[in-house]
């Protein structure tokens, strides 16, 4: 529903631009700002809805939206028809700095993601070898031994679940990974009792592969490791 509302909001902005154009000449900054917000919202929804292979297209739409919004801000400042008061400049500085920072930082992030779809994720897979699956985390590199991964499960159409044992191996327990507690009956779970399993949820963008390819690759590597053991 939120995605539908996002698209509806983008369509409303676009309709506002079209209606305003028919009513007379539009200021350039108004046109750029409305189109910029529209494209940024639509690009985000497309990223969430479309398959992984279309990620760069959705990211490009977001980046274009941010660039148009920044252009709108610059146009409004330099092509202003009136001179704001001191209080007006203070208001523009306070509100504008937040808006420009948000648009600029998001534009930089999207440009990075065009080169590397994993950019911006706090936890991401950086490789795998015969011994472990290797992750980059805020605290540094972490290796999860294949022997510690009990199963790989598809959680939904965007995320995989790595099933880990309980209790966790000491080395893994000290890594402060964002683990989920997996319980047979979570509705009556006792917080003082350890769960039956732990789970690490990885988004396909954190893995850097389409979900089907990631599931097949990790599953094959896990099976190979189990046979070797």
Quick: pLDDT tens for 181-215.
888 877 766 777 888 899 999 999 999 999 999 99
Q: Please name which of 200, 186, 193, 216 lies closest in space to residue 149, comparing C-alpha atoms.
A: 200
Q: What is the pLDDT of residue 170?
A: 82
Q: Are residues 77 and 178 in the same domain?
A: no
Give the model's pLDDT for residue 105: 94
141 with 77, same domain: the answer is no
Strands 151-154 and 132-137: unpaired
Phi, psi of 213 (to 5 degrees): -65, -40
Reported as a pLDDT band with limits 50, 70 and 90, residue 39 is very high
Query: Do 8 and 27 belong to one domain?
Result: yes
The pLDDT of residue 123: 92
Q: Please tell me whether residues 60 and 92 are part of one structural domain.
A: yes
In the chain, how many domains are there?
A: 2
> For residue 171, is pLDDT > 90?
no
Count the neighbouring beta carbons within 10 Å of the beta carbon of residue 34: 23
Residue where one domain finishes, among candidates 115, 144, 160 = 115
pLDDT at residue number 130: 83
Using pLDDT thresholds of 50, 70 and 90, give the confidence band for residue 113: very high
Which pLDDT score, from 0 to 100, does residue 11 have?
87
Quote the domain boundaries for residue 203.
124-228
Mean per-residue pLDDT of the chain: 87
Q: Is the pLDDT of residue 174 over 90?
A: no
User: Do 101 and 20 share a domain, yes or no?
Assistant: yes
Task: Mark whether 90 and 109 lie in a shared domain.
Answer: yes
| Domain end residue (candidates: 80, 115, 150) | 115
The upper half-sphere exposure of residue 122, i.e. CA atoms within 13 Å in the direction of its Cβ, equals 6
Q: Which of 91, 73, 77 is nearest to 36 (CA)?
A: 73
What token pair was written down for 157? 């159409």
CATH at residue 167? 2.30.29
pLDDT in tens, 59-83: 999 999 999 999 998 888 887 777 8
């Amino acid at each position: 529903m939120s995605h539908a509302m996002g698209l509806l909001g983008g369509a409303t902005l676009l309709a506002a631009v079209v209606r305003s154009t028919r009513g007379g000449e539009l200021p350039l900054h108004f046109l750029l700002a409305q189109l910029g917000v529209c494209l940024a919202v639509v690009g985000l929804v497309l990223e969430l809805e479309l398959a992984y292979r279309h990620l760069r297209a959705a990211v490009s739409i977001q980046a274009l939206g941010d660039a148009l919004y920044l252009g709108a801000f610059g146009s409004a400042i330099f092509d202003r028809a009136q001179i704001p008061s001191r209080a007006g400049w203070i208001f523009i500085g306070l509100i504008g700095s937040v808006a420009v920072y948000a648009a600029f930082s998001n534009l930089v992030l999207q440009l990075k993601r065009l080169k590397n779809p994993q950019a911006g994720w706090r936890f991401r897979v950086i490789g795998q070898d015969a011994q472990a699956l290797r992750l980059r985390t805020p605290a540094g590199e972490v290796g999860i031994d294949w022997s510690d991964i009990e199963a790989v499960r598809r959680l939904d159409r965007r995320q995989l679940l790595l099933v880990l044992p309980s209790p966790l191996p000491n080395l893994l327990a000290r890594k402060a990974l964002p683990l989920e507690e997996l319980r047979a009956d979570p509705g009556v779970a006792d917080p003082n009792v350890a769960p039956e399993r732990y789970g690490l949820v990885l988004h396909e963008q954190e893995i850097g592969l389409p979900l089907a390819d990631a599931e097949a690759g990790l599953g094959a590597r896990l099976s190979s490791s189990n046979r070797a053991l």
